[in-house]
C-alpha cells in the first residue's frame, strides 16, 4: 500500500469516527426538534418518526406562549447569561493578563487559588451562598444569579486566557512600550484583539452551563418574576402527568441562543481549540 493510499485510508477513518460522534451528539437535539412538531399521540406512537400530516402539530408552542410567561423567562435567561458572560470575559481577561505578564508577590498562590476554583464545584457552597444572598437581601433577584455565575466562570476563563496570552510574542508588547503606549492601551488594543479565538472558546464554554443551569435559579431566584427559562419549563412537568408537547417546544426554543452563539463564534472557536492543542 502506497503512502498516499495510507493517508487516504487514515483520513477516511478519522472522518468516519468524527461523523459517528457527531450523530451521537446531535441525536438528542434532533429528537427534541422532531417531536416538538408532533401531537402527543404521535410522540408516543413513534418518537423516532418525522412529523406527518396526521401527527404534525404546533400545540406545544401554542401552550408555551399561552399558558406561561415564556417571553419573561427567556428575557431573564438572556439578561443573566449576557451580563455574566460580559463580566467573566472582562475580569477574566484582565486577571489573565496580570498573571501572564507581571511578576508580583502571591502570583503563584493566586494561580493555585484559581485552579482550585476549577476543581471544586461551586454547588458545594450552596448553603453559604444562600446565606450570603439572604444577608444582602438579594434573594429572588437576577443580581444574585449574575454574581454566582461570574464567580463560577472566572477560574476557567482565567486559566484558558492566561495560557493563551503567555504565547503572545514579547516583541509586540515591548515595541508598544517603546512608543510610550500605556498598559491599558496595550491590553485593550493589542492583547484583546489577538486573543479573540481564546475569548470565543471561553464564551461558548461559559455560556452553556449558565444557560442550562437549574440549580441556582431554583434556590436563589424561584420567584415568578425572576424565573429563568430552565426553571420556567418545570411548570409543564407534574408529579403525575407531563405536558410533553410544551416541554419539547420550550426546549426547542431554548436551543436557539446556543446555536446562534456557535454560528457567530464558530471560526474563532475552532481557531482557539486548534491553536491551544498545537501549543
User: Taking residues 206-222, what's their average pLDDT?
Assistant: 89
Percentage of residues of the chain with pLDDT beyond 90 = 18
Confidence of residue 269 (pLDDT cuts 50, 70, 90): low
C-alpha to C-alpha distance for 211 and 214, rounded to whole angstroms = 9
b/e map 235-252, b = 16+ CB within 10 Å: bbeeeeeebbbbbbbbbb
Runs of H (alpha helix) within the chain: 3-36, 40-45, 59-67, 70-101, 107-119, 126-135, 142-165, 170-178, 183-186, 192-194, 196-212, 215-220, 229-232, 244-278
Q: Is 38 helix (H, G, I), strand (E, B) or coil?
A: strand
44-53, 148-157, 256-265: segment of lowest average pLDDT: 256-265
Determine the pLDDT at residue 275.
55
Determine the pLDDT at residue 274.
57
Residue 3 scores a pLDDT above 90: no
The pTM assigned to this predicted structure is: 0.82
Determine the pLDDT at residue 277.
40
Asked if residues 165 and 101 have their Cβ atoms less than 8 Å apart, the reply is: yes
Determine the pLDDT at residue 107.
76
Residue 257 scores a pLDDT above 90: no
Task: Quick: pLDDT tens for 77-106.
Answer: 999 999 999 999 999 999 888 888 887 787
Task: Quick: pLDDT tens for 132-151.
Answer: 999 999 999 999 999 999 99
Question: What does the H/E/C string look like for 81-114?
Answer: HHHHHHHHHHHHHHHHHHHHHCCCCCHHHHHHHH
φ and ψ of 94, to 5 deg? -65, -45
244: Cβ contacts below 8 Å, ≥ 6 apart: 35, 40, 43, 60
Angle between helices 107-119 and 70-101 (to 10 degrees): 150
Determine the pLDDT at residue 83.
95
Task: Quick: pLDDT tens for 171-206.
Answer: 888 888 888 888 888 888 888 888 888 888 888 888
C-alpha to C-alpha distance for 210 and 262, rounded to whole angstroms = 15
36-45, 80-89, 165-174, 231-240: segment of lowest average pLDDT: 231-240
Determine the pLDDT at residue 278.
42
95-99, 219-223, 239-243: segment of lowest average pLDDT: 239-243
Amino acid at each position: 500500500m502506497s503512502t498516499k493510499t495510507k493517508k487516504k485510508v487514515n483520513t477516511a477513518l478519522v472522518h468516519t469516527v468524527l461523523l459517528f460522534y457527531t450523530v451521537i451528539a446531535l441525536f438528542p437535539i434532533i429528537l427534541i426538534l422532531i417531536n416538538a412538531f408532533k401531537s402527543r399521540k404521535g410522540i408516543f406512537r413513534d418518537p423516532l418518526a418525522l412529523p406527518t400530516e396526521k401527527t404534525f402539530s404546533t400545540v406545544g408552542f401554542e401552550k408555551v406562549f399561552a399558558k406561561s410567561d415564556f417571553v419573561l423567562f427567556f428575557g431573564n435567561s438572556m439578561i443573566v447569561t449576557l451580563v455574566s458572560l460580559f463580566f467573566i470575559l472582562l475580569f477574566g481577561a484582565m486577571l489573565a493578563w496580570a498573571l501572564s505578564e507581571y511578576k508580583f508577590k502571591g502570583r503563584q498562590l493566586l494561580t493555585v487559588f484559581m485552579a482550585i476554583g476549577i476543581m471544586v464545584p461551586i454547588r458545594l457552597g450552596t448553603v453559604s451562598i444562600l446565606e450570603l444572598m439572604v444577608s444582602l437581601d438579594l434573594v429572588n433577584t437576577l443580581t444574585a444569579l449574575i454574581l454566582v455565575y461570574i464567580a463560577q466562570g472566572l477560574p476557567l476563563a482565567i486559566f484558558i486566557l492566561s495560557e493563551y496570552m503567555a504565547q503572545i510574542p514579547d516583541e509586540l508588547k515591548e515595541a508598544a512600550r517603546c512608543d510610550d503606549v500605556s498598559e491599558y492601551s496595550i491590553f485593550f488594543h493589542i492583547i484583546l484583539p489577538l486573543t479573540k479565538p481564546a475569548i470565543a472558546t471561553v464564551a461558548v464554554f461559559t455560556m452553556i452551563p449558565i444557560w442550562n443551569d437549574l440549580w441556582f435559579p431554583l434556590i436563589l431566584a424561584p420567584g415568578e418574576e425572576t424565573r429563568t427559562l430552565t426553571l420556567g419549563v418545570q411548570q409543564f412537568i407534574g408529579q403525575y402527568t407531563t405536558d410533553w408537547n410544551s416541554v419539547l417546544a420550550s426546549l426547542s426554543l431554548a436551543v436557539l441562543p446556543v446555536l446562534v452563539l456557535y454560528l457567530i463564534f464558530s471560526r474563532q472557536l475552532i481557531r482557539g481549540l486548534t491553536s491551544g492543542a498545537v501549543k
